[in-house]
Each structure stands twice: as C-alpha cells, then as structure tokens.
Amino acid sequence: MSPPPLSTSEAGVRAEPSSFRDPGNRVFYLDGQVLRGLDRRATEDWHALAASEFFPPLLTAGKVCGTEPVDRDILSMPDDTSWDTVLRHERIPFVSYPYEWSFGMLRDAALLHLEILTAALDCGFTTKDGSAYNLQWRGATPVFIDIGSFERARDGEPWAGYRQFCQTLLYPLMLQAHLDLDFQPWLRSRIDGVEPGQMRRVFGGTRRFSAGVLKHVYLHDAMQARHADASTGTVRAELRDAGFSRDLVLSGVRAVEKLVRRLDWQPPASHWEQYRQTCGYSDADRERKERFVESALAGAAPRLVLDLGANDGDYSRLAARHAAYVVAAESDPAVVEHLYRRLRADGERRILPLVLDLADPSPGGGWGGVERASFAARADVDAVLALAVIHHLAIGRNVPLPRVVDWLVGFLATAGPRGRLVAEFVHPEDPMARRLLANKPAGLFPDYRREEFERLLARRCDITAREELPSGTRTLYVGVPRG
C-alpha cells in the first residue's frame, strides 16, 4: 500500500516525497523554487542558526546550500497547514543518491559533514541527523542541504546522528577501503544503510583489527544490544550522570574525521579506463565524432545533458561548453572514481559523475517506493548523449533494440523541440560489436542492423543529422523527439 500523499495545494505546491521524517520542517516545490516550511520550534532553531558565528561563513563558502527566508504565505496550504517560517533554498541541478557515488565522492561528502558538525559543536549547535542523504553535489563539489537538521546542542547528550553516519557513510567506506568491496549495492539495497551487526559478520577474524572496526563496529553493536530495551531518555540520563560532555562529543567527531581521512581506496585498472586505447577509433573518427557532437549541442543550449556511458568524461566536458549542467553516468565504479578525481582537481562544478548500470538503473525506493526517486524520474533532461553504448545494451545485455531506443528517447519526454538525442550506432561488423557477438549464440540478434535502428529512431524522432565515421562501421545521429 502506498503512503498517503502529503499536502499539495491548488496553486501547484508539491511536497518532496522524502521530507516527512521530521514533522517540524518539510520541503516543498513551487514554480521551480525549493521551499522549506518550519514549525515554531524549528523557527527558533533557524533564527539562532542564522545569528550564529559558524553558519553564515558556511553559506558564503557554499558548503551549505543557499538559504533565505521568504514570505510564509507562499506556502498557503488547502488543509489549513501553516508554517511559522518559510525558507527558500538554492536548487541543486541534479539530485543524486549515495549509491550512485564513487568512493572518493562518499568520502568527501563524509568529510564535509564532519567539518560542518565540528563547526556547529564549537558554537553550541549540533545536527539531528548524520545521513549521507543530507548532502548533494554541485559538479564535483559536495554541499550540505539539510538546513532543518541543525539544532542547539544539549549538555550530556551524544551526537544523535552518529548511527546514521556510520550506516550510510563510515561503514560503506570501510567496506571499500578494507575489503575492496563496491559499497553501492549495499546502500542501494537498504535506505538506512549497513547495520553494525552486518558489519560485524563481515569483519570477523583478523579483519576486526582493521582501522576503526573494533570501536565503530564491534563496540557500536555491543552498545546497541546493551541498550536495546532502554528508552532514549534513560540512555541520555545515564550519559549525563557519567559526566558525558559536549567536549567529549567534539573529541569523538574529530576522531571519526581522522579515521575517514585514513580510509583510502585505489581503483584497480579497468578496461573502460583504457577505452580510448582499446576502442579502435582512428584519429579521423575521433575528430569527426567530436565535431558532430559539438555541432549537435551548440545551437540547442541545453539546460541539462545526460551522458550515458561517459567513460573518461571527454564528451561530458565537450557538452559542458554548451550546457548549464552535465550528468556523466558510467557503470564502472573505478572509472567514475578516476573521473571524479580529475573533475575535483579541476574544480569542475558543472559535471556530476555518477555510478550507474544502464541496464539496471537506480529504482525508486524507501517508503512507498517514492522516498528515493528512480533515476529516470530525476533525469528531466534536454539532451542525451548515447555514444558507443547502444551495442552494449542491445548485444551485451540482451535488451531488445526497440526498448533501447524507447528508453533513450523517454529521457526527453518533457524537453520539447529543444530536445536532442545524440546517438552512435555501432554496426554489427565493427570490431567491438563482433567481440560482443562472439560470446552470443549465432543469429540471436537478427534485428541489430543500422537500417532497423534508423527505422526505430525515425518512428520517435525527426533525424536532423546523420554522419558515418571514416572507419565505415559507426554512424552518428541527432534525433529531435516528436510530440
């Protein structure tokens, strides 16, 4: 059964499906604006936060999302719900989730979270939450978005977000750093992250002596078991009686930060990382392809480009010359990690690299299946680059060619006449296609032909440009969706 919908007004106010766990503040959308309603207590926290010494510098530095108060009547609701204060936030160009990030992205997000928490504790504040979902990205730069998470710290109380931080940030980093296990499937499978008990079973034997495991896994799990039947109030009272102080919280947070900085993962060599050398393109092919893609995007001035199978990000960078923002989606976590490191070093704020299996993209999840939106629901784009990727889906992953075309064009459902699908069809006789076909039964893909691809594309789009590369085994297309 789906959860009951949150309040929506006739004026077009739409509630953010994931914003319901803290009833004191909720996020809404209205005419492209991101708004947050605060109740009386949350309003008091906001006023104190805005007047604090630590928060305005974080705003100025862009480490927390841009926020300003607006007329509260903007969130007039038909069910008589009213908010004491309404804030307007900057709009993040593309919402992504931790299971779509590389190791370095998750690590940098964790470090920003801890940096902000440390600054808050120094000034008598804390955060209610420690979730990785409290962070988003401007390109390769993380930003903290959960302004409603800040509250005044109370003496004798631990950091309330510690468990969430461990489960959605620290534990996934440990899995990859210590065991070389990709953390993305673990986070995708459970919205609340990895439980201490699960980690304890994974880190058995001598693995328990890996950095941070005894304290943050074994001790954490033991403490949870010990206090399983105790109320939160009872635990807090015990801590206060034992002399637990804010200084101890601050010391613990700094220790966690030191641990996170120690955690490292060096991505292994990847076929896709070396794709430029192995894909068989000639210099003439590459030059012609770059010119074709540039021409396709130059006149469109797209708001958001989706580069599917982005690999080393060269075409994402090309697209960024003409687009406001680019999402570079690639299935190999090692390739995305290398790309992220290069983008971060360049200070790139308009290209977001993501780990995404194109044949199994992120589904909806959480409460009612909508608390975390599917990738397709979030990808409201104006242009799609599908370069050297169609054959991997149609042959490598056995997705029928008509479904591949429909899926690609579907991303442009709301783009209108400015929509562009820039696609590369790799002919069956191309060396890369032959390599994929060699592992399949003969005759399995009779419809995988250039003529059939053109027919399918023309059924959904006006083909405004077509060019065969000099090699003679790859053809480029620009399709503008109809209707």
State the residue range of the domain holding 70.
14-89
C-alpha to C-alpha distance for 252 and 256, rounded to whole angstroms: 6
**Range 118-157 burial, b when 16+ CB lie within 10 A, else e:** ebbbeeebbbbbbbbbbbbbbbbbbbbbbbbbbbebeebb
Residue 5: pLDDT over 50: no
Helix (H, G, I), strand (E, B) or coil at 473: coil
Q: Which residues pair with 135 in a beta bridge?
A: 144
Residue 140: pLDDT over 90: yes
**116 in any annotated domain:** yes
Helix (H, G, I), strand (E, B) or coil at 54: coil
**457 in any annotated domain:** yes
- Co-location of 297 and 156 in the same domain: no
Number of domains observed in the structure of the chain: 3
| Residue 115 neighbours by CB distance under 10 Å | 15
- Co-location of 51 and 124 in the same domain: no
pLDDT tens digits along 58-109: 999 999 999 999 998 888 765 556 899 999 999 999 999 999 999 999 999 9
**187 in any annotated domain:** yes
Q: pTM (2 decimals)?
A: 0.93
> How many degrees, rounded to 5, is the angle at CA 210 between CA 206 and CA 216?
115
Residue 3: pLDDT over 90: no
**Highest-pLDDT range among 231-240, 246-255, 376-385, 433-442:** 376-385
Can you give the pLDDT at residue 179?
A: 97
Read off the amino acid at residue 310: A
pLDDT tens digits along 406-421: 999 999 999 988 899 9
Please give the DSSP secondary-structure letter assigned to residue 264.
-
Can you give the pLDDT at residue 275?
A: 53
Residue 11: pLDDT over 60: no
**441 in any annotated domain:** yes
Of 30, 59, 89, the last residue of a domain is: 89
Q: What are phi and psi of 468, to 5 degrees?
A: -90, 135
Residue 234: pLDDT over 80: no
Of 64, 89, 114, the last residue of a domain is: 89
pLDDT tens digits along 355-402: 999 999 999 999 999 999 999 999 999 999 999 999 999 999 999 999
Percent over 90 (pLDDT), the chain: 78
- 279 confidence band (pLDDT: 50, 70, 90): low
pLDDT tens digits along 331-343: 999 999 999 999 9
- Co-location of 361 and 420 in the same domain: yes
pLDDT tens digits along 142-173: 999 999 999 999 887 889 899 999 999 999 99
Q: What are phi and psi of 303, to 5 degrees?
A: -75, -45
**2 in any annotated domain:** no
**267 in any annotated domain:** no
Can you give the pLDDT at residue 10?
A: 43
Strands 33-38 and 67-70: unpaired
Question: Both tokens of residue 43?
Answer: 């309003």
**270 in any annotated domain:** no
Please give the DSSP secondary-structure letter assigned to residue 53.
S
Question: Both tokens of residue 218?
Answer: 């074994």
Of 219, 240, 262, the last residue of a domain is: 262
- Co-location of 166 and 77 in the same domain: no
Helix (H, G, I), strand (E, B) or coil at 25: strand
- Co-location of 71 and 106 in the same domain: no
